[in-house]
Amino acid sequence: AQSVTQLGSHVSVSEGALVLLRCNYSSSVPPYLFWYVQYPNQGLQLLLKYTTGATLVKGINGFEAEFKKSETSFHLTKPSAHMSDAAEYFCAVSDRRNYGGSQGNLIFGKGTKLSVKP
């Protein structure tokens, strides 16, 4: 079964500093991995995803993540934090019920709250 672990429930950085949010996954099949962001009182929005191909994935708002199979990781980074980045971030792995099939749901990590200090 697939699972996701996000290290650190709360990360605080200064404006302009590097953002690093950690995600490790467990999957019995080649994983499809996602990062979603949730701004206060809103639904989730996709930041980026990895399915196949290039392991460094670029997303919206200057975020990127690198898939490292050997480390079973998919950490999210951004070179320079903005105040508007303050939100809850969720890493997710697809629950591919039938490997090679089309069914599946998202298994989410517990989320990391990012705070950005002026």
**Residues forming the site for other proteins (CB under 8 A):** 32, 34, 36, 38, 41-46, 49, 51, 88, 90, 94-97, 101-108, 110-111, 113
User: In sequence order, which residues have a C-beta less than 8 Å from that of residue 68 and are 6 or more positions away?
Assistant: 55, 74
Q: Which is nearer to other proteins, 42 or 80 (CB)?
A: 42
Q: Is 85 left (phi over 0), alpha (psi -120 to 50) or beta?
A: alpha
Beta carbon of residue 52, minimum distance to other proteins (angstroms, whole number): 8
Measured between its terminal Cα atoms, the distance across the chain in Å is 41
Q: Which is nearer to other proteins, 43 or 118 (CB)?
A: 43
Q: Which is nearer to other proteins, 74 or 90 (CB)?
A: 90
Q: Which is nearer to other proteins, 16 or 58 (CB)?
A: 58
Question: DSSP per residue over 5-24, as a string?
Answer: EEE-SEEEEETTS-EEEEEE
**Inter-CA distances, 87 with 6, 37, 38, Å:** 15, 7, 6
Beta carbon of residue 10, minimum distance to other proteins (angstroms, whole number): 11
